[in-house]
Every structure is written in structure tokens, then in C-alpha cells.
């Protein structure tokens, strides 16, 4: 079974950890929950099993080697608050974009049943702002997820697996015969 390392980045206190924990606990499969890291064995829609390692670190603790270990980066923001998207844009463009060399990126807007009854009104980001950030971050996909829906959370990780995870192709060993060596031209 292959392991997919996913680095989760986003504004604190709106659902980063909740997304990781709901995915880990809803799989009803073996999972190890350590501080900031969730290891989950997930049955993909095609029947294969993939172990996800979700690295949910505080933004100030993320280092360059975390990016080098990650197969995918999940950029999260609160869909109900335009400031959350603006903070993520600033954080990504100013601090993390140059560290990300080979990982593939997905953007995920979260809504939560916890935030529906707010004490203060915040403007929601427009779809144009979201699309602009997805393009700036060079993300391959955008998800809109309600944290109360296990189905939507599973769709995120199934899509991550489909978009980002490429199984290793077994190469067939070839031997050179005398006939094939004679056909080679050296100049």
C-alpha cells in the first residue's frame, strides 16, 4: 500500500483540524492520530487502499522539508469570510509559494455548521476572487466542502487520490540480445 503525504495549510480556528479529524474518524479504518499528523487508511473509489498522512501543522511551524515530503498541498480557507481567503493568499504568496517545487496543489473552501450562526457578519469571498487565487496558486482543483457532510469530505480525498496519486508503473526488465546489439548504430 502506498502512502500519500498531504500538507494542510490555512487560517487557524475555522476547520483545518476538523476536516482532518472527520476524515480520519469517518473512515472507520485503522488510523493513528498524533499531534498535527493523522495517518488514515482509505479505501479509494476504485477499490485500492491508500494511506493518507495528513500533516496539519500550525503555519508558523511549517518548514521547507515539510513541502519536500508532501505529495499534495491542501490550501484551506473559510468560505464564509473573505478575510480568511485574503490571509491565505498573503500567506501562500509571501511565505510558502517559493517552497513548493514539485507538490501538486488543491484549494478547498470550508463551510461549517459551527459558523452558521455568527456573532459578527463577514463578507463572503466572490467566486471571481476564489478563481483568481486558484489560478495564482497554480492549483489543479477547487473544492467547496461543508464540514458537516462526510460525503463531501470523502470526495475531497477521493479526488486528491485521483488527481495527484499516480501508482508506480512496474517496468519490465529487458535484456539486450546479440541481434538487438547488432542493430544499434554508434556514431
pLDDT digits (tens, 9 = 90+) for 117-176: 554 556 788 889 999 999 998 888 899 998 888 888 888 888 888 876 555 444 444 444
Q: What is the pLDDT of residue 120?
A: 54
More confident position, 187 or 164: 164
Q: First-to-last CA distance in the chain?
A: 45
CA distance 53 to 117: 32
Question: Structural domain of residue 77, as residue ranges?
Answer: 3-183
Domain of 149, CATH number, reads 3.40.50.300
Q: What is the pLDDT of residue 142?
A: 92
Number of domains in the chain: 1
pTM of this structure:
0.77
| Mean pLDDT on 11-16 | 77
CA distance 82 to 126: 8
| Mean pLDDT on 61-83 | 85
Q: What is the pLDDT of residue 186?
A: 52
CA distance 112 to 148: 6
101 C-beta neighbours (distance < 10 Å), count: 8
Amino acid at each position: 500500500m502506498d502512502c500519500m503525504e498531504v500538507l494542510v495549510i490555512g487560517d487557524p480556528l475555522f476547520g483545518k483540524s476538523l476536516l482532518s479529524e472527520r476524515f480520519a474518524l469517518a473512515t472507520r479504518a485503522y488510523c493513528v492520530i498524533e499531534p498535527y499528523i493523522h495517518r488514515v487508511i482509505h479505501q479509494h473509489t476504485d477499490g485500492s487502499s491508500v494511506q493518507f498522512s495528513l500533516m496539519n501543522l500550525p503555519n508558523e511551524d511549517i518548514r521547507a522539508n515539510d513541502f519536500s515530503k508532501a505529495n499534495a498541498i491542501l490550501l484551506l480557507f473559510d468560505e464564509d469570510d473573505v478575510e480568511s481567503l485574503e490571509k491565505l493568499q498573503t500567506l501562500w504568496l509571501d511565505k510558502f509559494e517559493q517552497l513548493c517545487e514539485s507538490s501538486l496543489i488543491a484549494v478547498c473552501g470550508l463551510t461549517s455548521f459551527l459558523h452558521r450562526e455568527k456573532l459578527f457578519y463577514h463578507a463572503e469571498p466572490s467566486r471571481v476572487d476564489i478563481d483568481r487565487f486558484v489560478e495564482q496558486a497554480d492549483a489543479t482543483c477547487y473544492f467547496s466542502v461543508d464540514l458537516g457532510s462526510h460525503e463531501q469530505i470523502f470526495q475531497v480525498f477521493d479526488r486528491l487520490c485521483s488527481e495527484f496519486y499516480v501508482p508506480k508503473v512496474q517496468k519490465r526488465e529487458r535484456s539486450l540480445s546479440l541481434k538487438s546489439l547488432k542493430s544499434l548504430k554508434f556514431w
